[in-house]
Amino acid sequence: MKYLEISKIYIKSQLVWRADVVFQVLFTVTKILFAYLLWGIIFNDRTEVAGFSFQSMLSYYVISSFLSQIEMSDGISSEISQRIRSGTFSKYIVIPIDIQKYFIAMEVGVVAYYGIFQFMAAFVWVIIFRIQFVVSHNPIIILCAFLLVVLGLLFMVQLNYYLGLLALKYQEIGTFLMIKNNLVAFITGSIVPLMLLPEGIVSVMKLFPFYYVTYLPSMLFIGQLESEAVPGLVIIFIWCVMLQVLIHVTWGSYRRKYDGVGI
């Protein structure tokens, strides 16, 4: 119950700011509008690009941008590192909670809030543009995609929590965050679309967890790369377990370094 209440309080915190809600919706709408226009031009004189039809490309875009927008765990590493540096991390230490679960619950609250608005905005635009949403008809693949989304979001929370904890030893973790952000951007295909990369490089990327955070679930939802569903679940699950062990060891050895000095 305590973690549910933590999720609720973060939903309430998000709801305080009306302008933020409006701009988030506008941002989603603008992205979808832009994608519609861009891909409309590209598909004007052809019916297929890299194996995607116009409708499946738009479906992929709507789903992947929805998933990447609800992945907001970045805030966890900055919250933890800033509080460790300022000495206010104590506020989590003195209350009877598991600190990592607190941050997972916080993320659930934030994702629930933004997810609802992003979903509504995406849904309205799918209706307005009459996008014939291409979705897999295989319920097992849909289930795998949902599980991948959950494990992917969990992994990102774990990763950002772990990076935040590094502030106990290194104080300044800006470089770690920069490396993580570039790695995530590259492997999730934000810098170069994965379909344009040589197969060998993509195979290596598949060993990293980021491939399974937004890219693979989006492809599964639109009925592509179905053969990768089960291996993907296994790989991301192994990453989650490994990271959990790393968090446990890191917290155990670094927490004694916390000096609570700052303010």
Partner 1 sequence: MNIIETEMLTKRFRRYKKQAGIAGSVKGLIKRDYEEITSVSELDLNIKEGEFVGLIGPNGAGKTTLVKMLTGIIAPTSGKVSVMGYYPNDLKNDFKQQYAVVMGQKSQLFFDLTVEDTLRLFKEIYGIPEAKYQSAKNFFIKLFHVEELMNVQVRTMSLGERMKMELIVALLHNPRVLFLDEPTIGLDSVASKQIRGFLREINEVKGTTIILTSHYMEDIKALCSRSVVINHGSKIYDGNTEQLFERYQKHKKISLTFDAPMELPEIGFGVSMISETPYKKVMKVSREKASELLSFLMKFNPSDISVEEEDIGTIVERIYGEEGSSPDEIS
Q: Least Å distance between CB 260 and partner 1?
A: 5
By CB under 8 A, the count of residues binding partner 1 is 26
Of 89-97, 110-118, 162-170, 229-237, the window that binds partner 1 (rule: CB under 8 A) is 89-97
Site for partner 1 in 135-174 (CB under 8 A): none
Cβ closest to partner 1, residue 129 vs residue 258 = 258
Site for partner 1 in 97-116 (CB under 8 A): 97
Q: Least Å distance between CB 241 and partner 1?
A: 24
- How far is Cα 38 from Cα 41, in angstroms, rounded to an integer? 5
Query: Which of 40, 174, 231, 260 touches partner 1 (CB under 8 A)?
Result: 260
Distance of CA 18 to the CA centre of its chain: 24
Of 6-14, 32-40, 41-49, 118-126, the window that binds partner 1 (rule: CB under 8 A) is 6-14
Beta carbons within 10 angstroms of residue 121's beta carbon: 21
SS3 145: helix
Site for partner 1 in 198-257 (CB under 8 A): 255-256
Query: Which of 19, 41, 50, 94 touches partner 1 (CB under 8 A)?
Result: 94
Site for partner 1 in 7-36 (CB under 8 A): 9, 12-13, 16-17
Residues 217-221: contacts with CB under 8 Å, at least 24 apart: 217/63, 217/67, 217/145, 217/146, 217/148, 217/149, 217/152, 218/60, 218/63, 218/64, 218/67, 219/60, 220/136, 220/141, 220/142, 220/144, 220/145, 220/148, 221/59, 221/63, 221/135, 221/136, 221/142, 221/145
SS3 219: helix
Query: Which of 60, 88, 209, 253 touches partner 1 (CB under 8 A)?
Result: 88
Of 68-76, 88-96, 188-196, 227-235, the window that binds partner 1 (rule: CB under 8 A) is 88-96
- How far is Cα 23 from Cα 91, in angstroms, rounded to an integer? 31
Name the residues that contact partner 1, by CB under 8 A: 1-2, 4-6, 9, 12-13, 16-17, 87-88, 90-91, 93-97, 255-256, 258-261, 263
